[in-house]
Amino acid sequence: MNNYLDFERPLAEIEGKAEELRALARQNEEMDVEKEAAALDAKAEALLAELYENLTPWRKCQVARHPDRPHARDYIETLFNEYTPLAGDRNFADDHAVMGGLARFNDHPVVVIGLEKGHDTKSRIERNFGMARPEGYRKAIRLMDLADRFSLPVITLVDTPGAYPGKGAEERGQSEAIARSTEKCLRLGVPLISVIIGEGGSGGAVALATANKLIMLEHSIYSVISPEGCASILWKDAEKMREAAEALKLTAQDLHRLGVADVVVKEPVGGAQRDRKATIEAVGRALESALREFRRKKPETILKHRRRKYLEIGSKGLAA
Amino acid sequence: MNWISNYVRPKINSLFSRREVPENLWTKCPECGTMLFHRELKDNLNVCMNCDHHMPISPRDRLAALFDGGVFSEIDVPEAPSDPLGFRDQKKYPDRMKEARRKTGEKEAMLVAEGEIGRTPIVAAAQDFRFMGGSMGMYVGNAILAGVERAVKGRCPFILFSAAGGARMQEGILSLMQMPRTTVAVQMLKEARLPYIVVLTHPTTGGVTASYAMLGDVQIAEPNALIGFAGSRVIEQTIGEKLPEGFQRSEYLLDHGMLDRVTHRGHLRDELITITRMLMRESPPIKGDLPRPEAVDETPDPEATANPDEAATSEKAAGK
Ligand SMILES: [Zn+2]
């Protein structure tokens, strides 16, 4: 059973009809529906391809936030061996929105850090919907430091609506924690590869995505502000999120053109949620080839590469 | 002799200005309601003489009050691409820019300059909240980088006065990328072992707080300035409760360990002189209007004695 997005309604109808027919046939042995159902399948498949080929920026936001997309935990479980979670910021708490630890990626030891949204009500609450608190960023800083000292590459999986806007988070220095985490990213002498697997929400994403290579999934987004937030500030109307999504240029394709994303990984037809396994494998291949570029590179070279990248970003706009 | 300037001239000036700008003669303090004579208010750096409420001050007035004798020279900032995304909400971004330029008489949201404070050469940058909410776009990033490069070259401290609602949405992801970009600038200062002092002024929020504005060696704030990552309305909506009195204000942050000091605007200059001179291991500041002292003995430099002409200019000596 699929979870459909609003623009997928026509698709839901066709797929629903096919399913209904088959259910009927199971109850009534004399009925032969397969031909009719197969025709509906073909129609659905064509429609799905068409819908996903022409996703508007707002629809991409919806797909990027789809609850059935693979999340950080799924990537870690599938692509890594010997995953050994490490917890806590040694200061206040362990933030479950940020998961991470030591792991092997294609036999090589690495540090992996992921912003995890959760997959059902219980885990979403536990993960705070992927919104990290200062403790989460401070845990990430600690893990990146560990990686740097033991010469292990860092892989971050980014999927967050943004840093948590809470009272305690502010009191414990949310902005300082984000600033230090970004600073840590920029100080590493080991390669840092980031993948935006869903939502890259503002400063809360920058803190973990300031990387040598930024990989983005085809229907992921990365933005200075959510389209709803932007709409309510600039249009004074949160319902204008479609216009805002358009104006913000937040799709993986726009970011690639602007030189922010280095690699865009194609998703299966119908988005990552329709074939989680294929998506995860494609990300695995992109990670492997990104890491290979930095193998045997000197720490200073890796650090300078990252700094130069950020100093040069935006020297030209979309027009150029 | 002096009575002419102290008595006669102000009378003529006030007669003149009464006719020219009658509505600007008095300012009502938004905090205590006292009517304040505009020139006295200006002399008091826009701080209410009755209740000490700190009103906004333009970067130009601030830098004039900071540097010795009000003398400073602006540092050229490399041009940033204007309207890199072709952004348009209800207004076009270039139109908003024109409006901000007309309103402020400034080119952009940050002024960066060099000069001396207490005879210590420094570079200072001041953000302009009147200019599109002081928002951080590519120009602000360029301004910080240009200022830092000058500070590193001249081996002098960098003082930054922040004031911003956050990143400039109209530059989308490119404004967000100023977070890592300005962080690289801060790292350049730190690697050169030069003081980076941040003075947070009302208001400093969002991506600005979550990057360069929270990475100072010394963090000072003006009284009662709003400083935070998330907006208080967003926080109240998220947690479903009212925030305490003084939340996200300077004194609250000081109590929570997020700042070094909260300093009245009238004492800032002296305090900055004291701190920078100690961090630069210079002699205590000379109070009053004494002639410029002879150069302090420095560790003998064999090259300098070999070529006295070259050592004569302090700039060259410092540039080594
Ligand atoms: Zn007052």
Q: How close is the nearest chain A Cα to the Cα of B136, in Å?
A: 11
Contact flag A186-B187 (C-beta cutoff 8 Å): yes
A94-102: average pLDDT: 98
Question: Alpha-carbon distance A173 to A62, whole Å?
Answer: 31
Do residues A167 and B239 make contact, with C-beta atoms less than 8 angstroms apart?
yes
Percent of chain B with pLDDT over 70: 82
pLDDT score of B293? 57
Tens-place pLDDT, residues B229-284: 999 999 999 999 999 999 999 999 999 999 999 999 999 999 999 999 999 999 99
- Name the pLDDT band for B285 (thresholds 50, 70, 90): confident
Tens-place pLDDT, residues A103-140: 999 999 999 999 999 999 999 999 999 999 999 999 99
- Residue among A172, A310, A319 minimizing CB distance to B180: A310
| A313–B contact, CB cutoff 8 A | yes
- Residue among A174, A224, A243 minimizing CB distance to B173: A224
Do residues B183 and B177 make contact, with C-beta atoms less than 8 angstroms apart?
no
More confident of the two residues B311 and B67: B67
Tens-place pLDDT, residues A231-244: 999 999 989 999 99
| B183–A contact, CB cutoff 8 A | yes
- Beta bridge partners of residue A266, listed in sequence order: none
Q: Which residues of A touch B190 (CB under 8 A)?
A: none
Q: How close is the nearest chain A Cα to the Cα of B51, in Å?
A: 27
A202-208: average pLDDT: 97
Predicted structure pTM score: 0.90
Among residues A302, A277, A28, A40, the alpha carbon closest in space to that of A192 is found at: A302
Question: Alpha-carbon distance A36 to A74, whole Å?
Answer: 36
- Residue among B89, B181, B209 minimizing CB distance to A313: B181
Tens-place pLDDT, residues B181-192: 999 999 999 999
**Statement: residue B1 has pLDDT above 50:** no
Amino acid, single-letter form, for residue A160: T
Q: Hey, of A206, A251, A256, which one would you mutate to test binding to chain B, going by the most B CBs within 10 A of its CB?
A: A206
Do residues A197 and A70 make contact, with C-beta atoms less than 8 angstroms apart?
yes
Q: Which residues of A touch B90 (CB under 8 A)?
A: 234-235
Question: Alpha-carbon distance A291 to A155, whole Å?
Answer: 9
Q: How close is the nearest chain A Cα to the Cα of B307, in Å?
A: 35
**Start-to-end C-alpha separation, chain B:** 49
Q: Average model confidence (pLDDT) for chain A?
A: 95
- Beta bridge partners of residue B115, listed in sequence order: B72, B122
More confident of the two residues B56 and B8: B56
pLDDT score of B286? 76
- Name the pLDDT band for A177 (thresholds 50, 70, 90): very high
- Name the pLDDT band for B193 (thresholds 50, 70, 90): very high
The residues, any chain, with a CB within 8 Å of residue B22's CB and separated by 6 or more, are none
Nearest CA in chain B to A187: B187
DSSP track, B190-247: HHTT--EEEEEEEEEEGGGTTTGGG--SEEEE-TT-BEESS-HHHHHHHHTSPPPTTT
B170-181: average pLDDT: 97
**Statement: residue B88 has pLDDT above 60:** yes
Do residues A186 and A180 make contact, with C-beta atoms less than 8 angstroms apart?
no
Here the tokens at position A289 are 């080839």
Question: Alpha-carbon distance B12 to B20, whole Å?
Answer: 12
pLDDT score of B291? 59
**Statement: residue A26 has pLDDT above 90:** no
Q: Average model confidence (pLDDT) for chain B?
A: 87
pLDDT score of A314? 77
Percent of chain A with pLDDT over 90: 91
Contact flag A167-B230 (C-beta cutoff 8 Å): no
Q: If you compute the radius of gyration of chain A from its CA atoms, what whole number of angstroms results?
A: 21
Do residues A208 and B180 make contact, with C-beta atoms less than 8 angstroms apart?
no
- Residue among B169, B174, B210 minimizing CB distance to A178: B210
A162-172: average pLDDT: 97
pLDDT score of A320? 42
Strand A80-85 with A98-105, pairing: antiparallel
- Name the pLDDT band for B288 (thresholds 50, 70, 90): low
pLDDT score of B305? 44
Q: Hey, of B173, B189, B251, B255, which one would you mutate to test binding to chain A, going by the most A CBs within 10 A of its CB?
A: B173
